[in-house]
Structure 1
Amino acid sequence: MVAQPTGFGRSTGDPQVRLMTKVAHMYHEQGIRQTEIADALHISQAKVSRLLKRAGEVGIVKTIVVVSPGLQTELETQLEQRFGLLEAVVVDVVGEEAEIIAGLGSAGAGYLENTLTGGERIGISPWSQTLLAVVDRLRPLRTAGAESVIQLLGGVGNSSVQVQANRLLDELATRIGARPRFVPAPGLVGTAAMRRGLLKDSTMEDVTSEWASLTMALVGIGSLHPSPLLRQSGNAVEPVDESSLLSLGAVGDVCHRFFDADGNLVRGQLDDRVVGISPADYRGIPRRVGLAGGARKHAAVRAALRGGWVNVLLTDVETARTLLS
């Protein structure tokens, strides 16, 4: 707060303006409590309060927000306005992909700690290195932050890697005091018939029935070329399918739902083999939080924003600048 002794339409000799300025100076710049100001000036505390309020209204007191080093408030505001986001969080981190993932992990943990207030039903993508980084940095909440955490895509894969998908879901649920729900199937199967058969299983139906009532999604944004974790899991797109997607203009995905540069869903044979939440149910989730960064993800992140696949974005500073360029 800064107190400025200007007249604002009245003479600076006006007793009311002079008293407002003096009260504002004592309170904001000298740190004197309102009761002490009232005693010193022989006026009531109620009048001190009214004078302080009036000083703000006429401009004698002006609020200045000082942005701490490392914060990117202006970039965040520009992203929110450009893409109609509920919120953007820009992390001041540069370097190799591993460093960016670590920075996004810390930012994601902080975001969850500050925004989960209980009652959330969270859907999560299981094959995300960035989300694993979030969980590794997330402190246990003192009170439950959500009711349940449910996989949005099949989490069964190569046994040496599946433990990571299970850990992601289980540890997130434990740290926020929620109930974990696993999808007992691979994320990608060989045929559409296999997918239909799996979805009819009663165990699967118990989980998939909860997809329509989710309040929040926590997802990574994938580029067309899968991450090492996804490729090792056995749930990655095969090269022949990758070529087909490329010919259809695909640039990225959320939970194996691929989209083009404008964010439009790319439909093909692969789409019928995904054991995961449908695009319609996914888009019906009110808060869709995406975490992604690094040069490899620029096109995919831009497309995800254009198509409304995420409406909350956590990304790095260079990706943010690229999105706005």
Structure 2
Amino acid sequence: MGEQAKKSDIRRALHQDSVLANTAILYYKEGLTQNEIALRLGVSRQTVINYLRLAREQNIVDIRINGASFTVSNTSRDLRAKYKLADVYIAGLTADGDSADVAYKAQINRQVAQVGAMALHEILQPGELVGIAWGETIYHLANEAPYRIIEDLTVCQIIGSMTTPLVMTAEGCAISLASRLGAECHTLHAPAILTSVDLAEALRNEPVIREQLERLKTIDRSVFSVGNCDSDTPIVQSAITTDEEFDWYRARGAVGVLCGRFIDSSGTHIKGPMDGRMIGIDLSCLKERANGILVAGGPAKFDAISATLNGGYVSHLVTDERTAQALLEI
């Protein structure tokens, strides 16, 4: 491509950005309707709709709702008092559904994650080291977070790599969130679980991985969800645990899976056959830091959410209205 052609492409790109920015200003700042903007620009209403969509996709406009607006209800206040939390953010679901329905559970995960993404900018502070976990809800949160820089922030992956066709990898979640917050990112260069205790121990003693695990002991905050102990929980779908191991934990009272570890109804870590083979943050460290942001909702996760709150891992809760009400009633 010649120099003249390159300059022409640059001019066209700059012109498009200018058009998109001006359209966004007219719509979001000056409050004009799409029809009014179409008349002013001499284009069709559909073209205006396309301009606004492109402005969002290209991050020319960043739509952000104040996360604090989700913390002003009586329910939020009562939950803060009951569980001694710094704040509670409550998502109002747009539709009801069967708690066993896959589509309904996915809707809850997404809407709670959207509120969690907005809440991050109210909670996270410049200069903090923030740990991020993995799962469907965290995947949505990482991809819903507004593109807005938090100065001198560092994000680190707190669970080794896990894969499932339904969810981005653990390192992918960390990288995605870090990119949206303008943060430095540290991934964890190891699988979440190994085939033997000896192999896991050898990896934990590798200098690079040892350094990464030591960093997890210094996190200022952590962002995580919690899984239930049903057969559709990601830790089962990812084949991280066998059916026999899963049954072993459930037989000993497991109601939730927190950062790859099983917990009972009091939030106590149930140590068992998987722990020696896992690479990731210890629940004792998570509890000691006591600055966890739990993002989870829905009837299917109720027992797991309650257990995580009982265990003292959480400072900020993001959940849905029905779950919040149920938590107050127990």
What interval of TM-score do these two structures reach, taking the shorter chain for normalisation? 0.7 to 0.9
- Partner of 1:250, secondary structure, is coil
The residue that corresponds to 2:242 in the other structure is 238
Q: Does the Cα contact within 8 Å between 1:72 and 1:90 map onto a contact in 2?
A: no
The residue that corresponds to 1:26 in the other structure is none
Counterpart AA for 1:170: I
Alpha-carbon shift at residue 223 of structure 1 (Å): 0.8
1:316 matches 2:323: no
Counterpart CA distance in 1 for 2:166 and 2:187 is 15
1:102 matches 2:110: yes
Q: Does the Cα contact within 8 Å between 1:125 and 1:255 map onto a contact in 2?
A: yes
The residue that corresponds to 2:87 in the other structure is 87
Alpha-carbon shift at residue 250 of structure 1 (Å): 0.6
Alpha-carbon shift at residue 281 of structure 1 (Å): 1.5
Alpha-carbon shift at residue 272 of structure 1 (Å): 1.8
Q: Of 152, 156, 166, which residue of structure 1 is paired with 2:158?
A: 152
Counterpart AA for 1:244: W
1:1-325 equivalences under 5 Å are 73-93=73-93, 94-95=95-96, 96-126=104-134, 128-141=135-148, 143-157=149-163, 163-225=168-230, 227=232, 229-235=234-240, 237-325=241-329
The more displaced of 203-212 and 145-154 is 145-154
User: Normalising by the residue count of structure 2, what TM-score does the alignment of the two structures yield?
Assistant: 0.71
Q: Does the Cα contact within 8 Å between 2:171 and 2:188 map onto a contact in 1?
A: no
Percent of counterpart pairs with the same letter? 23
Counterpart CA distance in 2 for 1:144 and 1:226 is 38
Counterpart AA for 1:88: V
Change (3 A) 1:163 1:129: closer
Q: Does the Cα contact within 8 Å between 1:221 and 1:253 map onto a contact in 2?
A: yes
Give the structure with higher Rg (CA): 1
- Partner of 2:255, secondary structure, is strand
Counterpart AA for 1:152: I
Q: Does the Cα contact within 8 Å between 1:155 and 1:186 map onto a contact in 2?
A: yes
Counterpart AA for 1:178: A
Counterpart AA for 2:80: E
Q: Does the Cα contact within 8 Å between 2:227 and 2:234 map onto a contact in 1?
A: no
Structure 1 unaligned blocks of 5 or more: 1-67
Counterpart AA for 1:304: T
Alpha-carbon shift at residue 210 of structure 1 (Å): 0.5
Structure 2 unaligned blocks of 5 or more: 1-67, 97-103
Count of equivalent residues = 254
Alpha-carbon shift at residue 231 of structure 1 (Å): 4.2
Q: Which runs of 4 or more aligned residues in structure 1 lie more than 4 Å from their structure 2 counterparts after TM superposition?
A: 68-72, 160-163, 226-232
Q: Does the Cα contact within 8 Å between 1:157 and 1:186 map onto a contact in 2?
A: no
Supply the RMSD in Å over aligned alpha carbons. 2.3
Change (3 A) 1:75 1:310: same
- Partner of 2:153, secondary structure, is strand
- Partner of 2:322, secondary structure, is helix
